[in-house]
């Protein structure tokens, strides 16, 4: 691996986690940001979720990238600095990297250092001539990221997995504006976005029969116990995920089975039976809804690729309106 970037100190990570948990459990309704799902075990559980028959986004987006990867790479520029946000295990990334030139630069950004190191090592073995600069960071703080510009190269962001759906629409606009500032004039964004579909399909995707999503959700409580010394009964919380059609989003909750309390340090947070911690949203967008959202952040939709069943869209956005919109299947 080349040019490994410095990573945040464990103490800083713990302080951020502690502050977020305390603030979230004080709020009404109670909530904890979904980024804290992704410790090493949570990242492993998410990989298992992606392999379940119910969870269509990963295999559908992968098939779109397999079919159209060359065209996508051509639009972002084969000689570019490609920044991947929330890179995780980076299983889809080779479908683009294979079309980049040897003088391109790949910068994976992820909050989980073990996964970042492991995936970058694997990709460096696959593409030994490609320069890689992994960055362990929270991509929600993009303006502060230490991403060095490379002379003569445009910057493009790759943001797969429909992770943008974890943001509220207002948060998504803020994030898209930050991406625009990061890449600068002439930059691009290739982003995966889950489409709206039947509640039956969506509910099944977030309630897999193998129970991996439930374990992924409850792992947040286990992490609180391990890293923050939280006193709680993890088995007294149950996983609950459902499609909220009014808001166009999947909601994921940890629901208390009984009256109980979680103690974090000297502070105690009481729960009634049936009260929940709201742990994740996953917003779904039609192609036109996402085009309007992106436009409000200064982006222009240039091309959209989708699967034959219209389950998932991959969009290419630019900061210029010069190119015509294309729709591909």
Please give the full DSSP string across 97-144, using - where no structure is assigned: HTTS-TT-EEEEEES-HHHHHHHHHHHHHHSTTSEE--EES-GGGGGG
> What is the mean pLDDT of the segment spanning 127-134?
94
In the chain, how many H helices and how many E strands? 9, 15
CB 142 within 8 A of CB 177: no
Kindly tell me if the per-residue pLDDT of 256 is higher than 60: yes
Residues 199-209: pLDDT tens digits?
999 999 999 99
> What is the mean pLDDT of the segment spanning 173-188?
93
Residues 90-111: pLDDT tens digits?
999 999 999 998 889 999 999 8
| Neighbour-count burial for 101-116, b at 16+ CB within 10 Å, e otherwise | eeebbbbbbbbbbebb
List the single range of 50-54, 67-71, 148-152, 317-321 with lowest mean pLDDT. 148-152
> What is the mean pLDDT of the segment spanning 110-126?
93
- Helix axis angle, 10-26 relative to 212-228, nearest 10°? 110
Q: What is the pTM of this model?
A: 0.89
Q: 151 pLDDT band (50/70/90 cuts)?
A: low
Residues 13-38: pLDDT tens digits?
557 899 999 999 999 999 999 999 99
Kindly tell me if the per-residue pLDDT of 120 is higher than 50: yes
**Which run of H or of E encompasses 80?**
strand 80-85
Report the pLDDT value the prediction gives residue 7, as an integer from 0 to 100. 36
List the single range of 10-19, 156-165, 205-214, 256-265 with lowest mean pLDDT. 10-19
Kindly tell me if the per-residue pLDDT of 146 is higher than 60: yes
- Helix axis angle, 56-76 relative to 40-50, nearest 10°? 100
Both structure tokens of 15: 């302080």
Torsion of CA 241, 305, 115, 318, to 10 degrees: -110
CA 237 to chain centre: 25
User: Collapsing DSSP states into helix, strand and coil, what is residue 55?
Assistant: coil
CB 271 within 8 A of CB 260: yes
Number of CB atoms found within 10 A of residue 245's CB: 11
List the single range of 26-40, 156-170, 187-201, 313-327 with lowest mean pLDDT. 313-327
Both structure tokens of 91: 């299983």
Separation CA 74–CA 156 (nearest Å):
12
Q: 251 pLDDT band (50/70/90 cuts)?
A: very high
* Proportion of the chain above pLDDT 90, given as a percent: 81
Residues 269-326: pLDDT tens digits?
999 999 999 999 999 999 999 999 999 999 999 999 999 999 999 999 999 866 544 5
**Mean per-residue pLDDT over the chain, rounded:** 91
Domain 1-329 has CATH 3.40.50.720: no
Kindly tell me if the per-residue pLDDT of 217 is higher than 90: yes
Separation CA 237–CA 258 (nearest Å):
8
Report the pLDDT value the prediction gives residue 290, as an integer from 0 to 100. 98
Domain boundaries, the chain: 1-329
């Amino acid at each position: 691996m080349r040019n490994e970037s410095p990573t945040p100190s464990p103490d800083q990570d713990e302080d951020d986690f502690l502050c977020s948990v305390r603030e979230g459990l004080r709020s009404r309704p109670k909530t904890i940001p979904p980024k804290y799902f992704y410790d090493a075990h949570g990242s492993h559980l998410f990989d298992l979720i992606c392999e379940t028959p119910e969870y269509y986004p990963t295999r559908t987006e992968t098939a779109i990238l397999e079919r159209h990867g060359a065209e996508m790479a051509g639009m972002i520029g084969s000689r570019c600095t490609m920044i991947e946000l929330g890179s995780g295990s980076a299983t889809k990334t080779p479908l683009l990297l294979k079309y980049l030139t040897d003088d391109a630069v790949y910068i994976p950004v992820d909050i989980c250092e073990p996964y970042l190191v492991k995936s970058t090592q694997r990709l460096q073995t696959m593409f030994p001539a490609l320069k890689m600069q992994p960055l362990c960071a929270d991509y929600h703080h993009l303006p502060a990221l230490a991403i060095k510009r490379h002379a003569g190269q445009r910057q493009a962001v790759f943001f797969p997995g429909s992770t943008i759906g974890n943001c509220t629409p207002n948060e998504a606009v803020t994030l898209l504006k930050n991406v625009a500032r990061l890449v600068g004039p002439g930059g691009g964004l290739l982003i995966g976005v889950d489409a709206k579909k039947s509640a039956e399909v969506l509910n099944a995707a977030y309630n897999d029969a193998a129970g991996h999503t439930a374990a992924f959700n409850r792992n947040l409580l286990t992490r609180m116990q391990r890293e923050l010394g939280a006193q709680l009964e993890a088995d007294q919380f149950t996983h609950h995920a459902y499609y909220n059609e009014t808001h166009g989003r999947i909601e994921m909750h940890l629901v208390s089975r009984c009256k109980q309390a979680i103690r974090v340090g000297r502070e105690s947070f009481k729960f009634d039976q049936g009260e929940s911690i709201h742990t994740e949203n996953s917003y779904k967008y039609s192609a036109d809804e996402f085009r309007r959202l992106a436009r409000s952040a200064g982006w222009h939709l240039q091309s959209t690729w989708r699967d034959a069943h219209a389950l998932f869209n991959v969009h290419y956005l630019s900061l210029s309106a010069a190119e015509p919109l294309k729709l591909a299947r």
